[in-house]
């Protein structure tokens, strides 16, 4: 069975918007959290979790109707879904397809795990992390996080 055929069974096609594919199994809700999409603005969102995949044993897929996500918006997904592919859809056709790229810095997305860091208080600053190949680093206190970056997502 083809990969695409498999999706059709579980997640309906969207007319126009963004499809985020090849997300590691179990990370779909973190993808939405990073993008700040929680459905409260009435967005039509379809989520497929742990669907069989050719590339991964299981993958997640997220479809957001009516919103074309920019490269900057999706690049931050590289922290938890480095192999994700982004499909921009218009009138049921994929008009653009690209991968996420690792940004140099992410702002306002993660919260520092160091309780003694100034960025965790009430100051008027966004958390800022430098992004390395295998880790992120708080620009304020210097804390380096290598594992479980998803747990730092500021929801």
Partner 1 sequence: MRHDHVITSKQLSRSDIETVLDRAAEIRDDPTAVADRHAGALLGLLFFEPSTRTKMSFETAMKRLGGDVVDMGSVESSSVKKGETLADTVRVIEGYADALVLRHPKQGAATMASEFVDVPLLNAGDGAGQHPTQTLLDLYTIRENAGLEDLTIGIMGDLKYGRTVHSLAYALSNFDAHQHFISPESLRLPREVVYDLHQEQERAQVREHESLEEILPSLDVLYVTRIQRERFPDETEYQKIAGEYQIGVDTLEAASDDLTVMHPLPRVDEIAPEVDETEHAAYFEQAHNGVPVRMALLDLLLGDEGGEDDE
Q: Which of 138, 149, 150, 152 binds partner 1 (CB under 8 A)?
A: 138
Q: Any contact of residue 142 with partner 1 (CB under 8 A)?
A: yes
Q: Which listed range, 30-38, 70-78, 116-124, 147-155, lies at the site for partner 1 (CB under 8 A)?
A: 116-124
Q: How many CB atoms lie within 10 A of CB 126?
A: 11
| Token representation of residue 134 | 């295998």
- Please indicate if the annotation marks 141 as binding a ligand: yes
Q: Which listed range, 33-41, 70-78, 94-102, 131-139, lies at the site for partner 1 (CB under 8 A)?
A: 131-139
- Please indicate if the annotation marks 101 as binding a ligand: no
Q: Which of 7, 22, 63, 137 binds partner 1 (CB under 8 A)?
A: 137
Q: Any contact of residue 111 with partner 1 (CB under 8 A)?
A: no
- Distance, in Å, from the CA atom of 6 to the CA atom of 39, rounded to the nearest integer, reads 25
Which residues 6+ apart lie within 8 Å of 95 measured at CB? Answer: 88, 89
Contact between residue 31 and residue 81 where contact means Cβ atoms under 8 Å apart: yes
Q: Any contact of residue 141 with partner 1 (CB under 8 A)?
A: yes
Q: Which of 55, 71, 118, 151 binds partner 1 (CB under 8 A)?
A: 118
Q: Any contact of residue 42 with partner 1 (CB under 8 A)?
A: no
């Amino acid at each position: 069975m083809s990969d695409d055929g498999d999706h059709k069974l579980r997640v309906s096609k969207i007319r126009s918007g963004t499809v985020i594919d090849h997300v590691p199994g179990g990370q779909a809700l973190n993808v939405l959290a990073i993008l700040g999409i929680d459905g409260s603005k009435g967005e039509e969102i379809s989520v497929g979790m742990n669907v069989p995949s050719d590339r991964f044993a299981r993958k997640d897929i997220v479809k957001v109707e009516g919103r074309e996500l920019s490269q900057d918006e999706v690049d931050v997904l590289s922290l938890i879904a480095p192999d994700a592919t982004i499909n921009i859809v218009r009138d049921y056709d994929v008009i653009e397809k690209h991968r996420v790229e690792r940004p140099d810095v992410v702002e306002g997305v993660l919260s520092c795990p160091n309780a003694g860091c100034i960025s965790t208080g009430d100051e008027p600053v966004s958390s800022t992390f430098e992004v390395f190949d295998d880790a992120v680093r708080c620009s304020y206190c210097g804390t380096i996080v290598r594992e479980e970056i998803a747990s730092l997502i500021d929801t």
